[in-house]
Structure 1
């Protein structure tokens, strides 16, 4: 297993067209790819086909990853790989959310709501640690939460009372949404300046004043830019 520093070096080379660096990254991340592909076995689809589709997602992750995202490459790559598999499976009519994933999704909603009430935020890695699971499991659950059908399905509490998952969404929607979107390949559709704003504001918890000083603009400009970015992300999110 290569170090984070070596991974970053190889990504930089691969993005410059170095085929050997790209090949090394693919080989190093193949175990991750295979672990994700296993989720889709038993659905009358060829393993090799899924593996090929998953590697397309990995290649996209290598192409689009940036150190500015302030997350591990594997954390960024998982939803990219899932995205490719999801599109393929959806087109083939194989998509189905399991009860286990729905259950974890409901628990994540409750957990993030509790954190929001405390004024705290939760990224994917923090959620994974809390539930003693891996990032892949969390991303599957987050992806399930984004589907309208799963959002409106009901779950029962200890007293047998049924509540729709959508009713459990945290009130701090902007922050929660962006935490998910950064893992959903949305940042790649923003400008470099907009991506930097999102990372500094939502993942490094910098104030608008701090970001303004860092980017050499006024706080008012940052405020306007943030509003514009959130609107843009919401449109992409709703249109997915």
Structure 2
């Protein structure tokens, strides 16, 4: 099957893949990633710490919270271990629906997202700005059972939603149909800790057609209104249930992402 992939224009998922050491990127993505790292040398540490947070959050949800269903929004280029690998290592019967709108992600996902025989993984090409379309899609409906709790994971993506997109409303419309006992796990871009450096990176993204909306701690908290936060609440991603593995973070200023997990009453 042919996919219409624009290799001449940098894409956020491929920039991320390049910076964390992946292999699915093109010269435009590498140029952009190098420019951003010159502006903020801590960017690779920041991005890897974000991915480590996803691993810990999913492991917690599968092991401690007993979640067996995951809806991953803005899944990005598959980089092992992927979300389903983390979840199914803890609970082989876990089911995962990945959602992204990059054709390259779609192409790669079909080859790389095979899960355990007991579980199931599906990939849905869709835009998170269309929650109704996601929730009505056959891949969603046939994979996840809305009579059982679902973990909605929204990792490192809402900073690409501007004020006019109503990011909080989008997340709420995805969460609302999920039953009581479901969870929301998010990481949310911020300039609270290194405003000048992160601001320069944001300008590099914007110059390539990817404007960003970075959020304060109070703005991050708005995503979790009405939910029960898991301790320690909303913190920088490297401070959420650290386990001594993964990326070493020496300074809080090197992390520009809040992370939290919360239960829907």
**TM above 0.5, one fold?**
no
Q: Could you tell me the TM-score, scaled by structure 2's length?
A: 0.25
Q: Could you tell me the TM-score, scaled by structure 1's length?
A: 0.27
| Higher RCO structure (Cα 8 Å, ≥6 apart) | 2
Kindly name which structure, 1 or 2, has the bigger radius of gyration based on alpha carbons.
1
More strand by share: 2
